[in-house]
Structure 1
Amino acid sequence: MPSTPGLEPIVAEVTVPVTVTEAFVGFTAQMSEWWDPMVSPDPATFAGIAIDPNGDVTMIHGDEQHVWGRVTDWDPIGHYSQQFWLGHDEESATTLDVSFTESEDGTRVRLEHGGWAAGSEDVRARYTHWDQLLERYAAHVS
């Protein structure tokens, strides 16, 4: 099925000098440590991110919690995916799909943010931070 112009997945990649499992743990369990607070509902109160492997992805701001995703696949030897609605309505959830592949230099991490519906071009255009977030992630796990 051909993609609709302006709705193709956003793709970001990075290679990190750690094992696949270490890369997976760094991406998921340690997301709070590398996520940029500026990419949150309230940077001043950002306190972390909690991921339930069988459920919600939650951003913590002081005493408040904001659910912004739901885990759909949790495989520590190669794959993580979730529904994603940070910055848009849950009814219009998109998908984050992250693969962890062994490479000559460690692990290649490929993030694909897709599942954009017709009419969501303006929302999609706001997601310009994946490369910078993966740079922060790479610095954290390296």
Structure 2
Amino acid sequence: MDPIRHELVVACTPAEAFDAWVDDIGQWWHPDYTPDPAGFLGAAIEPRVGGRVYLVDATLGEVDWGSVLAVAPGALVVHTSWLGQDPAHPSRLAVQFVPLDQGGTRVELAHEGWDESNVEFRHKFTEWPLILDRYAAFVARTR
């Protein structure tokens, strides 16, 4: 099954775009895309293979959301994702940070790993453009 793909351009280097995605996800991720928006305190990606991807919630504590599969600082992060899905059948998020000749970075998101075991959850992921807009606004304010 084809990945869900989106891309955008941000006015910073690939290293800065990567850092904003990985190091600062807790500052730009929208609470509405968590188990308990009222309790959302942040999110984190541990940038190493096998690292955790998790949310921090006021009541639930740390809530695992995925596991890092690949990381190339300034260029790529890939992790499983079971946020809003059955953890036994995760999808994958692959985010690449591509330098542009004229400056800036193209951020390419592929939400992949869809098959018969998890396709029933695919309909929940139509709002990537809103999430990416929030990321882009964060980058514009901070980089």
Give the deviation of 1:77 after TM superposition: 2.4
The reply to whether residue 46 of structure 1 matches residue 40 of structure 2 is yes
CA RMSD for the aligned pairs?
A: 1.2
Structure with the greater relative contact order (CA < 8 A, sep ≥ 6): 1 or 2?
1
The reply to whether residue 14 of structure 1 matches residue 8 of structure 2 is yes
| Kept after mapping to 2: 8 A contact 1:69/1:85 | yes
Corresponding pairs, count: 136
The reply to whether residue 81 of structure 1 matches residue 67 of structure 2 is no
| Kept after mapping to 1: 8 A contact 2:89/2:117 | no
**Residue identity opposite 1:60 in structure 2:** V
Alignment counterpart, residue 120 of structure 1, candidates 110, 118, 130? 118
Equivalent runs, 1:1-142 vs 2, <5 Å: 7-54=1-48, 55-63=51-59, 64-103=61-100, 104-118=102-116, 120-142=118-140
d(CA) in 2 for partners of 1:119, 1:125: 14
| Kept after mapping to 2: 8 A contact 1:15/1:105 | no
d(CA) in 2 for partners of 1:124, 1:83: 14
- 1:30-54: per-residue Cα shift (whole Å, max 9, x none)? 0011111000000000000021123
TM-score for both structures, normalised by structure 2: 0.90
- 1:36-73: per-residue Cα shift (whole Å, max 9, x none)? 10000000000000211231101000151110100111
| Kept after mapping to 1: 8 A contact 2:86/2:118 | no
Please name the residue that 1:3 is paired with. Answer: none
Greater CA drift, 132-141 or 63-72? 63-72
| Kept after mapping to 1: 8 A contact 2:97/2:106 | yes
Q: Percent identity?
A: 37
**Residue identity opposite 1:109 in structure 2:** V
d(CA) in 1 for partners of 2:136, 2:44: 19
d(CA) in 2 for partners of 1:87, 1:19: 31
d(CA) in 2 for partners of 1:40, 1:105: 34
Give the deviation of 1:96 after TM superposition: 0.4
TM-score for both structures, normalised by structure 1: 0.91
